[in-house]
Chain A
Amino acid sequence: MKLFEFESKKLFADYGILVPKGYLATSSEQVNNACVVKAQVLAGKRGKAGIVKVCKTVEESKAFAEKLLNSEFNGKRIESVYCEELISFSKELFLSLAFDSVRKQPVLVFSLDGGVDIEEVNASNPNAIKKLYIDPLQGLQSWQAREFLKESGLSSELLNKVGDVCVKLYKLFTSVDARMAEVNPLAVTTDGVIATGAALILDDDAFYRHDWKFTPRSASRELTERELAAKKIDENDYRGVAGKYLELDGDIAMMTSGGGGSLTNMDALLEYGGKPANFTEYGGNPPREKMKALTSVILSKPGLNACWIVGGIANNTRVDVTFEGIADALRELKPKFPIIIRRAGPGEKEGFETMRALAKELGLDIQLFGAETPMTSTAKIVVDAALKYKESKK
């Protein structure tokens, strides 16, 4: 989970890293000083996007907050701004902790050239970016941090201060189970160093060992009505997964199963010129009721020209049970558009029989394919079928 800056700053302070004084405002009336006004959004490069501003007077702060709070960023309304005291500094450093997947260990990244252009520095002068790989069984000790910082060109005067931030940042990184903990910039002032920029991403898989009170969030646009309805499917029923639904612009309803299989078939559909109406992934042997609910959500989208029910040879997801659920929804909706099915796995014979009987009973246009036909070969079949159906409507 990505944290908002004000949430990250609070955690940084909790772990003893000095941050500027600040407050959160949801209306411009709450803004009461000359400060740095920062839009609270879950994206980086805010300075370059023009949603962070150093305001020299209280009027300027209020006006900028007013402007931000009535605007949208990446399709989402800006709901709050964080107002921070102005800090004068002589230099900006970069400090970040994350995991290196190739080395399979945490890595501390440091640069004397911190600030908004750090990625350009990395591209033009990679030598200015220094990395220290950390043994996760040993952790980061202060002498290691000092040794590294000294070799990275940091002056003796700042060594203890920045070294201290490194150790505290590592403590924070491991204690909160972060995927990334970053200070950019770490501003050098006459008194020492202060984290004027902070970013934190928490590991969703470690939430069970924390008692976080963060509100649910999405980085991009708000969820649609159908997405919200789909989300509810998994909420009160842990059996299998059938609530992943992302609404898209196309006309082919997608009922894809398995993580990798769903991606593979989305790609195949696009490769053959089809336009998906949604992205979905079900699996882990969901029960009949959940499959019925998911099918109903997917097929409720207007303007569909075909439906593609596709998956590989399942390991443990029952084809008969999941198809019963799909059939329950089809019986209610009686769609006229073609339905192309490719599936295999436990209970496939019974599942296919259910679909055949249903097609006969309701006069549905259902085509069935088993393991003998590669999954992605049916992508072309569904694309052609959708086109033909679209033409026939004219």
Chain B
Amino acid sequence: MSILVNKNTKVIVQGITGREASGVVKDMLAYGTKVVAGVTPGKGGLEVEGVPVYDSFKEAMQNHEANTALVYVPPFAAKEAVFEAVSNGIKVLDVITERVPVRDSVEMISFAKKHEARIIGPTSVGIITPGECKLGPIGGSNPDRVFAKGNVGVVSKSGGMTNETSWLVRQAGFGQSTAAGIGGDFVTGTSFAEFLQLFEQDKETKAIVLFGELGGVYEEQAAELIKKKIVTKPVIAFVAGKFSELMPQDTALGHAGAIIEGGLGTPSSKIKALKDAGALVARVHGEIPELLKQVL
């Protein structure tokens, strides 16, 4: 078992003809991921790494069976790419695109929700279930160095640190059930809290490692679930960005932030919330293996 992606995942890559996307498709195919088609409007009929390219998502769906979309288009096209995939029946979407305006993000997330589809990202580095499916750039061209089948779920706001955190899991002597980058955007498709619940329901996962960062309240929201015992599996957490609190702070412009987030959002607030809820919080990132060994 695993979450969100597995050996039955069949992927359509939107923006497949881009330089970066085509490189990632090559790595995905090498890993054994079933990339069935690509979509780039105006480039129908081409092939990328042997994968056929279509002008529209509908056409790709008429010719192939697929259940997952990898969104690899420029920021200005991200919202429409999501609407297009969801309108064609896709229920799992991983948005790699960075710098998507927040307005576009909330619109695509609302649209997906109405159609019972799930978005991971924007700014996701991808998601991997070792030995079954690698979706997106996660793990680069040598994923086996870091990822191996196991029972630790990894979820991270930072793309690079998804790798490094998963590596610490390996160094502790364990493997990963699924590892995912949720992206560090202010509004994200699938938050830490939602990932924790997915891992809670997954039989394979025995412990969860969470890499958080300053800003937003997703870490605090996750802590709330642990506190309420909705998530009962052990959670090891690290929150980056404590140093920012030592820097001179400006008085916030406007009051909306303070009112909506209620003074949360700093690394200290996140660490406190997670600790109070019962998560094991690493003081430095390199402490994660030690904490993991305590619970497994």
Q: A and B from one assembly?
A: yes
Taking A98-B257, A102-B221 as contacts, is the C-beta distance between A374 and B168 under 8 angstroms? Answer: yes
Distance in angstroms from B197 CB to nearest chain A CB is: 14
Q: Which of B31-39, B46-54, B209-217 contacts A (4 or more CB under 8 A)?
A: B209-217
Contacting residues, chain B, for A109 (C-beta < 8 A) = 256, 259-260
How many Å lie between the Cα of A74 and that of B260 in the bound state? 25
Contacting residues, chain A, for B243 (C-beta < 8 A) = 263, 266-267, 270, 276, 279
Taking A260-B161, A267-B241, A316-B140 as contacts, is the C-beta distance between A376 and B285 under 8 angstroms? Answer: yes
> Which residues of chain B from 252 to 274 have a CB within 8 Å of any chain A CB?
252-262, 267
Answer whether residue A308 sits at the interface, using C-beta atoms and an 8 A cutoff.
no
Q: Which of A16-24, A37-45, A146-154, A158-166 contacts B (4 or more CB under 8 A)?
A: A37-45
Contacting residues, chain A, for B107 (C-beta < 8 A) = 136-137
A308-337 vs B, CB cutoff 8 Å, 1 = contact: the mask equals 000111111000000000000000000000
Question: Which of A45, A49, A101, A199 makes the CB contact (< 8 A) with B187?
Answer: A101
Taking A104-B187, A313-B145, A313-B163 as contacts, is the C-beta distance between A261 and B158 under 8 angstroms? Answer: yes
Contacting residues, chain A, for B167 (C-beta < 8 A) = 312-313, 371
Number of A-B contacts (CB under 8 A): 213
Q: Are B253 and A44 in contact (CB under 8 A)?
A: yes
Answer whether residue A54 sits at the interface, using C-beta atoms and an 8 A cutoff.
no
Answer whether residue A240 sits at the interface, using C-beta atoms and an 8 A cutoff.
no
Question: Which of A49, A105, A258 makes the CB contact (< 8 A) with B158?
Answer: A258
Distance in angstroms from A327 CB to nearest chain B CB is: 23
How many Å lie between the Cα of A326 and that of B72 in the bound state? 31
Q: Are B286 and A374 in contact (CB under 8 A)?
A: yes
Answer whether residue A295 sits at the interface, using C-beta atoms and an 8 A cutoff.
no
Distance in angstroms from B166 CB to nearest chain A CB is: 9
Closest to B193 in A: A102
> Which residues of chain A from 126 to 141 have a CB within 8 Å of any chain B CB?
129, 131, 135-137
Distance in angstroms from B221 CB to nearest chain A CB is: 6
Q: Are B217 and A101 in contact (CB under 8 A)?
A: yes
Q: Are B137 and A316 in contact (CB under 8 A)?
A: yes
Q: Are B213 and A260 in contact (CB under 8 A)?
A: yes
B93-120 vs A, CB cutoff 8 Å, 1 = contact: the mask equals 0000001111111110111001000000
Contacting residues, chain B, for A30 (C-beta < 8 A) = none
Answer whether residue A286 sits at the interface, using C-beta atoms and an 8 A cutoff.
no
Taking A107-B260, A135-B110, A263-B241 as contacts, is the C-beta distance between A209 and B216 under 8 angstroms? Answer: no
Taking A44-B253, A106-B106 as contacts, is the C-beta distance between A118 and B140 under 8 angstroms? Answer: no
Q: Are B163 and A96 in contact (CB under 8 A)?
A: no
Answer whether residue A268 sits at the interface, using C-beta atoms and an 8 A cutoff.
yes
Taking A96-B256, A203-B101, A266-B243 as contacts, is the C-beta distance between A44 and B217 under 8 angstroms? Answer: no
Q: Are B103 and A177 in contact (CB under 8 A)?
A: yes
How many Å lie between the Cα of A100 and that of B262 in the bound state? 12
How many Å lie between the Cα of A382 and that of B157 in the bound state? 27
Q: Which of A58-66, A179-187, A223-231, A299-307 contacts B (4 or more CB under 8 A)?
A: A179-187
Answer whether residue A297 sits at the interface, using C-beta atoms and an 8 A cutoff.
no
B152-190 vs A, CB cutoff 8 Å, 1 = contact: the mask equals 000011111101100110010000000000001011100
A-B contact list, 19 entries, CB within 8 Å: A42-B250, A44-B253, A45-B251, A98-B260, A99-B187, A102-B221, A104-B106, A119-B259, A122-B259, A135-B110, A199-B253, A201-B254, A257-B160, A261-B160, A267-B241, A272-B284, A315-B160, A371-B167, A374-B171
3 nearest interchain CB pairs?
A: A260-B158, A312-B164, A258-B160
A residues at B contact (CB < 8 Å): 2, 42-45, 49, 74-75, 94, 96-102, 104-107, 109, 118-119, 122, 129, 131, 135-137, 174, 177, 179-180, 182, 184, 199, 201, 203, 205-206, 208-209, 219-221, 257-261, 263-264, 266-268, 270-272, 276, 279, 283, 311-316, 345-346, 371, 374-377, 379
